[in-house]
Amino acid sequence: MSNALYRVALWLKQPAGASRAPMHPAEQILLGSIVGLAICALWVAITWRAMQ
């Protein structure tokens, strides 16, 4: 696993109240891309199912 993915995984595992180090721009882009792709996949799945 790449260093950025490892840091994101560690960041997500921390408890909600714990102080978190700010994410680097590359990590923000990576996380945003993953969320965006998930939303797109969900939209396509819902549309596909509705058209059948």
For 1-52, what is each residue's pLDDT tens digit?
577 778 777 777 777 666 667 888 888 999 999 999 999 999 999 999 999 8
What per-residue confidence (pLDDT) applies to 21? 73
What per-residue confidence (pLDDT) applies to 29? 93
What per-residue confidence (pLDDT) applies to 49? 93
Q: Which amino acid is at 13?
A: K
The whole-angstrom separation of Cα 42 and Cα 36 is 10
What per-residue confidence (pLDDT) applies to 20? 64
CB atoms < 10 A from the CB of 25, how many? 8
What per-residue confidence (pLDDT) applies to 36? 95
The whole-angstrom separation of Cα 11 and Cα 3 is 12
